[in-house]
Amino acid sequence: MKVKIPRNVRITTHSFTKFFKGFEKVEAVKSIFGEKTEEVLNNLQVEFAGFRGYMGVSDIDGHIIISARYLNNGDLIDIYLDIIHELVHVKQFMEGKKLFDDRYSYVGRPTEIEAYRHAVAEAKRLGLDDSRICQYLKTEWMNEKDLKKLTKILGVKYVPLEKRCV
C-alpha cells in the first residue's frame, strides 16, 4: 500500500463553557449537579459534529456531541432544552449508568425519562404549553403512540398532531 492512513487521531472537542455561557447559573442545571455544577461544566467537553440529528452524550467518555447543523439552524428553545436533557445524561454517565440500555424502548428507558423530566420541568417553567411541549418531545424516531406514552409518564397533556402549533 502506498497510501498513508493516520491511526492515532483524536476526536476534536472543546471546553463546554467556552461556547455555552451562563448554564452554571441555571436552576435546572444546578438541580442536576448540585454544588458540583461549576466543576462539572468546567470539565465538560463538547464536540461539534457533521451528522444529521440533534445531540447526544458519548458513552465512552461522557462528552456532549452536537450536530453543527442543528446548533446553527434549530429552534433555540429546543436546543436549550436539549442541552438540559443531555446534561442529565452527563450526570448519569458520571454515575456509571448505561446510557443506551437496549432492554428498554427509547420512551421506556429510565435514563431517557429522567432526562426528559428535567427538560420538561424547565419547559414548563419557561411557560411552554402542552402543545409546544408535545411538539418539542416528538422526534422522527417516535410515533404518536410513543409520544402519548412519554407524555403520560412525564405528566404532560398529550395534544394530537392536528391541534399542535407548528
Of 25 and 61, which has the nearer Cβ to Zn ion? 61
> Shortest gap between Cβ of 139 and Zn ion (angstroms)?
10
Q: Are 20 and 87 in contact (CB under 8 A)?
A: no
Q: Are 63 and 47 in contact (CB under 8 A)?
A: yes
Report the alpha-carbon angle 50-56-59, nearest 5: 110
Report the alpha-carbon angle 125-43-107, nearest 5: 45
Among the listed residues 22, 90, 105, the one whose alpha carbon sits nearest the alpha carbon of residue 56: 90
Residue 115 near Zn ion by CB under 5 A: yes
Site for Zn ion in 118-157 (CB under 5 A): none
Q: Which residue is nearest to Zn ion (CB)?
A: 115
Of 39 and 101, which has the nearer Cβ to Zn ion? 101
> Shortest gap between Cβ of 57 and Zn ion (angstroms)?
8
Of 69 and 97, which has the nearer Cβ to Zn ion? 97
Segment interacting with Zn ion, rule: CB under 5 A, options 14-22, 107-115, 120-128, 153-161? 107-115
> Shortest gap between Cβ of 75 and Zn ion (angstroms)?
17
DSSP code at position 14: E
Give the N- to C-terminal CA distance of the chain in Å, as an integer.
54
> Shortest gap between Cβ of 5 and Zn ion (angstroms)?
34
Number of residues that bind Zn ion (CB under 5 A): 2
> Shortest gap between Cβ of 86 and Zn ion (angstroms)?
7
Question: How far is the C-alpha of 148 from the C-alpha of 159, rounded, in Å?
Answer: 9
Residue with cell 443506551: 100
Give the footprint of Zn ion on this chain (CB under 5 A): 112, 115
